[in-house]
Structure 1
Amino acid sequence: MIRTFVAVDIPAAFHAKISAIQSKFIGPGLRPVDPSIVHITMKFLGDVDEAQLPGIITALDRMDCPSFDSRISGVGAFPGMKNPRVVWLGADGDYSCLHGQLESLLSETGFKKEPRKFIPHATLARITYLSNPRKKELISAIDSLRDLDVGLMRVNTVKLKKSTLTPQGPIYETLHEVDLP
């Protein structure tokens, strides 16, 4: 079994900006994501048998969505600011075709459609535990970054990735890449 997901990578040109953003709030109780692997998860597939990979790849190769621009901006938290568990970087753009086709094509190979509304974002940090004073500091830092503009990127590739979890953080390997016209 291999842990897999479909993603859009954040360009390397944004990694230094992401690191600078993370420096505003990283501290006790937060596990930052290495800026070099920050991405927008389009669909988490979970643990799949290697025998399923050809079917997944065939489904991905059937995608027919045009490439588009995405504005990477704004910092927020899931599930909300009262009890943040994940700090994210926003992604604005027309992800609807991409997300819709992924859900449809992958459901044909046995993956359940995600019932929650898709909100394009890149995870910056996961929160393990925050004292009330630390939570207030984090919320203040996030509020100060709410309107931050990182830049415009072109979404022209979607990748099937393997995730290997280690004590030092996840290691990602691209298993398949699909170019969007």
Structure 2
Amino acid sequence: MIRTFVAIDLPEESHAKISGIQSKFIGPGVRPVDPSLVHITLKFLGDVGEAQLAEIISALDKVDCPSFDSKISGVGAFPGLKNPRVVWLGADGDYSCLHGQVESLLSGIGFKKETRKFTSHATIARVTYLSGSRRKELISAMESLINFDVGSMHVDTIKLKKSTLTPEGPIYETLHEVKLL
């Protein structure tokens, strides 16, 4: 089985800014994502068999959305700033076409549609346990970064990625790329 997801990579020039943001809140209870691995997930597929990869690739090749510009800015958290579990950067742009088509095309080959509303974002840290004072520190740091501008990028490619989990962190490999119009 291969652990897979469909994503948009952030440009290399954003990695230093992401690292700078992370440095403001990294500490006990917060695990940063390697800046070179930060991406916008359109759909997490989970474990799929190798035989199913061709069907997934064929479905993704039918994506028919125009390329667009996206602004990466602002720090937020799921489920919210007061109880952070996932710390993210916002991604503004026309992600609705991409997300909608990926969901539709992959549901046509048996993948369940996401029930939650899609929020385009790039995860930069995961939160485990926080003491009361540490939680206040993290919330304060995130609030100071709500309008932080990482920069803009042109979204012209989506990628089917393989994720191999290791004790040192995930290793991502691009299995297939789809160029947008």
Q: TM-score, normalised by structure 2?
A: 0.99
Find runs of 4+ consecutive structure 1 residues off by over 4 angstroms.
none
Once superposed, what is the RMSD of the aligned Cα atoms? 0.5
For 1:8, the aligned partner's letter is I
Does residue 45 (structure 1) correspond to residue 45 (structure 2)? The answer is yes
Residue of structure 1 equivalent to 2:133:
133
Q: How does 1:55-74 map to 2 (within 5 A)?
A: 55-74=55-74
3-state DSSP class of the match of 2:13? helix
The one-character-per-residue Cα deviations of 1:60-107 (angstroms, maximum 9, x if unpaired) are: 000000000000000011001221101000000010000000000000
For 2:83, the aligned partner's letter is N
Does residue 146 (structure 1) correspond to residue 146 (structure 2)? The answer is yes
Gaps of 5+ in 1: none
**1:128, distance to aligned residue in structure 2 (A):** 1.1
How many angstroms apart in 1 are the aligned matches of 2:129 and 2:88? Answer: 17
Does residue 22 (structure 1) correspond to residue 17 (structure 2)? The answer is no
How many angstroms apart in 1 are the aligned matches of 2:122 and 2:132? Answer: 25
For 1:123, the aligned partner's letter is T
Does residue 98 (structure 1) correspond to residue 116 (structure 2)? The answer is no
For 2:39, the aligned partner's letter is H
The one-character-per-residue Cα deviations of 1:20-62 (angstroms, maximum 9, x if unpaired) are: 0100101111110000010000000001111100000000000
Gaps of 5+ in 2: none
For 2:9, the aligned partner's letter is D
How many angstroms apart in 2 are the aligned matches of 1:168 and 1:91? Answer: 27
Residue of structure 2 equivalent to 1:120:
120
Residue of structure 1 equivalent to 2:157:
157
Q: TM-score, normalised by structure 1?
A: 0.99
% identity of equivalent residues = 78
How many angstroms apart in 2 are the aligned matches of 1:134 and 1:50? Answer: 43
How many angstroms apart in 1 are the aligned matches of 2:75 and 2:84? Answer: 12
How many angstroms apart in 2 are the aligned matches of 1:27 and 1:179? Answer: 39
